A = this chain, B = another copy of it.
Amino acid sequence: MVDHPYIVLVRPQMGQNIGAAARAMLNFGLTRMRIVDPRDGWPNQSAVAMASGAGRVLDDAQIAPDVAGALGDCAFVFATTARSRDLTKDIYSPEEAMRLAVQKIDAGQKVAVMFGPERAGLENEDLVQANALISVPVNPDYASLNLAQCVLLVGYEWMRQRSHVTPVVHEMAGSDWAEVQEVDHLMRHYEDRLEDAGFFWPEHKSASMKLNLRNMWSRMPMTRADVQMFHGILRQMVRWKERDR
């Protein structure tokens, strides 16, 4: 039973920021950290030194080589971003996002929140793997939240929303949501077949076409049955083609 969100630090650079993030988390009862490809390896002594009383969050942290590996078993993923991007994806305030997270977790789903590396933040390739974005409403003329502060605000909203009474809203009856890795397989299935079919053309546009396609799939609220339906459609089109050969 996972009763709170995973905090996923993507390619963090300084160990002390990982430690500070652990402290920020534990202030609000968050204990599940996942770390993608930490720059200085793992374990990290600067992280431990900074974490002080929150060392157990680091002890239990799970390390993954890439974003897909860290998110594979999650049903819903938020990505935090400072800038609004030109990706078509829902943008939530921390408040709205954590309200939604409470509902999803109460419905038995695993939820994750991704945070990018210091300075640069998440890249588009990371963002397209999320179902929705979180943007903290800050002074447009001065936005300087650091990693631990960003984790802190999400944790604060988590605790705030958790302690509210939240009626479980519009979860579809009896729905069985697809996990990230299932959507990932679907993405790759389409990408491979469409590659064979010559869809990604002209060549210089193929990277952005693939990015758009990935973004679209991750944004769709799909059940396992939907994913199977989309696989089935594609398989049938291929079978049709082969039969006529």
**A: which residues have CB within 8 A of B?**
23-24, 26-29, 52-54, 84-93, 95-96, 132, 135-139, 142-145, 148-149, 152-153, 156, 159-160, 163, 167-175, 190, 193-194, 196-199, 212-213, 216, 219-221, 223, 225-226, 229, 232-234, 236-241, 244-245
- 15 example contacts (A-B, Cβ-Cβ < 8 A) are as follows A23-B144, A27-B138, A52-B144, A54-B144, A87-B173, A88-B173, A88-B225, A89-B172, A96-B167, A153-B156, A198-B239, A199-B232, A220-B220, A241-B241, A241-B244
Copies of this chain, how many?
A: 2
Contact of A219 among B88, B160, B221, B239 (CB under 8 A): B221
Would you call B174 and A88 a contact (CB within 8 A)? Answer: yes
> A88: which B residues are within 8 A, CB to CB?
172-175, 223, 225-226
Would you call B241 and A142 a contact (CB within 8 A)? Answer: no
Residue of B nearest to A152 (CB): B149
Name the 9 nearest CB pairs between A and B, nearest first: A241-B241, A197-B240, A237-B237, A199-B236, A90-B170, A26-B142, A29-B139, A27-B138, A92-B170
Bound-state Cα–Cα, A116 to B168, Å: 22
Apart from the given pairs A197-B237, A212-B229, 13 other A-B contacts in the complex at a CB distance below 8 Å: A29-B139, A91-B170, A93-B168, A95-B160, A96-B170, A137-B160, A137-B163, A148-B149, A149-B149, A194-B233, A199-B236, A213-B229, A237-B237
Contact of A26 among B91, B139, B172 (CB under 8 A): B139
Bound-state Cα–Cα, A193 to B135, Å: 41
Residue with the greatest number of chain B CB neighbours at <10 A, chosen from A53, A156, A226: A156
> A144: which B residues are within 8 A, CB to CB?
23, 26-27, 52-54
> A197: which B residues are within 8 A, CB to CB?
236-237, 239-240
| A77 smallest CB distance to B (angstroms) | 15
Would you call A167 and B90 a contact (CB within 8 A)? Answer: no
